[in-house]
């Protein structure tokens, strides 16, 4: 009888655990493609033990180079690519052949396909122009979000922008013609005050409606079922603030935030701020059965020689994160009159420490990730 009870207890625990995992791996899009479902489930599994490392625009350019086949500032140091590739589709809405950072969309498509083929993960953001004023994403003319809602004066324009974005996403296909799964991060840093969709330009209700319309349009009208939706804020004080503009569990798959270390900011101040936000974020992710991610971070020009192992790693190591991504390596920016990069490169001050960071078994880069077959059911 004791043996029977023990076996029954084990079975019950296993079933409950399995039910919890299955629920946690459910995408918001019930018509998601098989590759997208597999990616999401596998990211859930991996995030309990590992964090993927990502880099924006990694394959397109770096410090003092641009569009060299197979090159990457990351690969130059560790003979490996990032596990996550970040790209931005801004200016697709303007029918431009290049994105906001000058990357031709034709090249971006090729880079996305290459990363996917090797087993990497793709994420897209969109610094789209202000539809009401015609200014950039940083034009905080008020009522822009209201204008794109159904009945708004720029609603039809916004739909045409979504059509153009969808048309580009349709072209992102693997070698067998399958749609490449995309971690799509619209309206990013939505608690900030520097974009036209920020907290100072629209009400929570307006942003929620804009998000819901966007997702429903891409799913139902454009039939895109390869998108994993990433809800993204800037810094936030508490759970209430993070969720104030949250559009609903049926509209979100990953919860995330962005936070950078700035010049002259104390290391411990940054670490503690990240840890505070991650403790809130991962609690929300756990309760809502979503993935958690540190969608953007970095320290411009990385002036700290051991930033990777003594700042970034201590800040994230205690939290289950799907990925952490550092921003782009633009090199010298004449408009800013300074160097602008967030990952090291060969010979950069923090290169030795980054190599040590690469050797951390808890951080995954592409070679190891590719072996895990993220896009297949396991």
Helices (H), the chain: 2-24, 34-47, 73-78, 105-117, 144-148, 155-170, 204-216, 239-243, 267-288, 307, 313-316, 351-358, 366-370
In a domain, 218, yes or no: yes
Among all chains, which residue has been given the structure tokens 């929620």? 208
Task: For residue 47, give the nearest of 330, 319, 271, 354 by alpha carbon.
Answer: 319
Helices and strands (H, E) in the chain, number of each type: 13, 13
pTM for the complete prediction? 0.93
In a domain, 348, yes or no: yes
Q: Average pLDDT in the 143-163 region?
A: 98
Give the model's pLDDT for residue 245.
98
What tokens were used for 274?
A: 């990240």
- The domain that holds 327 is classified in CATH as 3.20.20.80
Q: pLDDT grade, residue 317 (50/70/90)?
A: very high
Taking only the tens place, the pLDDT of each residue in 44-68 is 999 999 999 999 999 999 999 999 9
Alpha-carbon distance of 23 to 21, in angstroms, equals: 5
In a domain, 376, yes or no: no
Q: pLDDT grade, residue 9 (50/70/90)?
A: very low
Q: Average pLDDT in the 75-82 region?
A: 98
Residue 233, pLDDT above cutoff 70 = yes
Taking only the tens place, the pLDDT of each residue in 245-301 is 999 999 999 999 999 999 989 999 999 999 999 999 999 999 999 999 999 999 999
Q: Average pLDDT in the 322-346 region?
A: 94
Q: Average pLDDT in the 195-211 region?
A: 97
Phi and psi (nearest 5°) for 212?
Answer: -65, -40
Taking only the tens place, the pLDDT of each residue in 82-111 is 999 999 999 999 999 999 999 999 999 999
In a domain, 375, yes or no: no
Alpha-carbon distance of 171 to 179, in angstroms, equals: 8
- Domains contained in the chain, number: 1
Alpha-carbon distance of 249 to 259, in angstroms, equals: 24
In a domain, 266, yes or no: yes
Q: pLDDT grade, residue 377 (50/70/90)?
A: confident
CB atoms within 10 A of CB 347: 9
Q: Average pLDDT in the 113-125 region?
A: 98
In a domain, 338, yes or no: yes
- Let me know if 123 is exposed, middle or buried by CB neighbors in 10 A (0-12, 13-18, 19+): buried
In a domain, 99, yes or no: yes
Give the model's pLDDT for residue 80.
98
What tokens were used for 132?
A: 């009401």
Among all chains, which residue has been given the structure tokens 């160097």? 339
Give the mean pLDDT of the chain.
Answer: 93
In a domain, 378, yes or no: no
Residue 18, pLDDT above cutoff 60 = no
What tokens were used for 361?
A: 């078994």
Please tell me which residue, 283 or 7, carries the higher pLDDT value: 283
Domain extent for 172: 2-370
């Amino acid at each position: 009888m004791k043996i029977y009870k023990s076996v029954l207890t084990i079975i019950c625990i296993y079933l409950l655990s399995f039910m919890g995992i299955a629920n946690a791996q459910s995408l918001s899009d019930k018509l998601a493609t098989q590759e997208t479902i597999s990616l999401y489930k596998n990211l859930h599994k991996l995030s309990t033990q590992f964090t993927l490392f990502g880099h924006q625009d990694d394959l397109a350019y770096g410090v003092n180079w641009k569009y060299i086949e197979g090159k990457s500032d990351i690969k130059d140091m560790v003979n490996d690519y990032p596990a996550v590739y970040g790209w931005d589709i801004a200016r697709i809405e303007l029918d431009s052949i290049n994105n906001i950072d000058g990357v031709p969309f034709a090249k971006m498509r090729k880079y996305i396909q290459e990363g996917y083929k090797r087993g990497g993960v793709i994420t897209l953001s969109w610094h789209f122009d202000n539809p009401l004023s015609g200014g950039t994403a940083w034009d905080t003319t008020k009522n822009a979000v209201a204008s794109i809602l159904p009945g708004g004066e720029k609603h039809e324009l916004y739909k045409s922008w979504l059509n153009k974005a969808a048309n580009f996403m349709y072209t992102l296909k693997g070698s067998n013609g399958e749609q490449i799964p995309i971690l799509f991060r619209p309206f990013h840093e939505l608690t900030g005050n520097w974009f036209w969709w920020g907290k100072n330009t629209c009400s929570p209700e307006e942003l929620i409606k804009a998000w819901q319309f966007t997702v429903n349009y891409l799913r139902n009208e454009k039939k895109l079922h390869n998108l994993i939706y990433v809800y993204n804020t800037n810094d936030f004080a508490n759970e209430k603030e993070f969720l104030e503009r949250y559009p609903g569990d049926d509209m979100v798959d990953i919860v995330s935030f962005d936070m950078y270390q700035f010049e002259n900011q104390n290391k411990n101040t940054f670490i503690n701020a990240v840890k505070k936000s991650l403790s809130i974020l991962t609690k929300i992710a756990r309760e809502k059965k979503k993935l958690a991610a540190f969608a953007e971070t970095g320290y411009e020009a990385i002036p700290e020689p051991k930033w990777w192992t003594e700042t970034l790693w201590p800040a994230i190591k205690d939290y289950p994160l799907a990925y952490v991504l550092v921003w782009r390596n633009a090199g010298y920016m004449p408009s800013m009159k300074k160097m602008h990069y967030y990952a090291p490169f060969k010979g950069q001050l923090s290169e030795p420490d980054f190599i040590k960071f690469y050797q951390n078994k808890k951080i995954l880069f592409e070679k190891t990730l590719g072996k895990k077959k993220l896009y297949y059911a396991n």
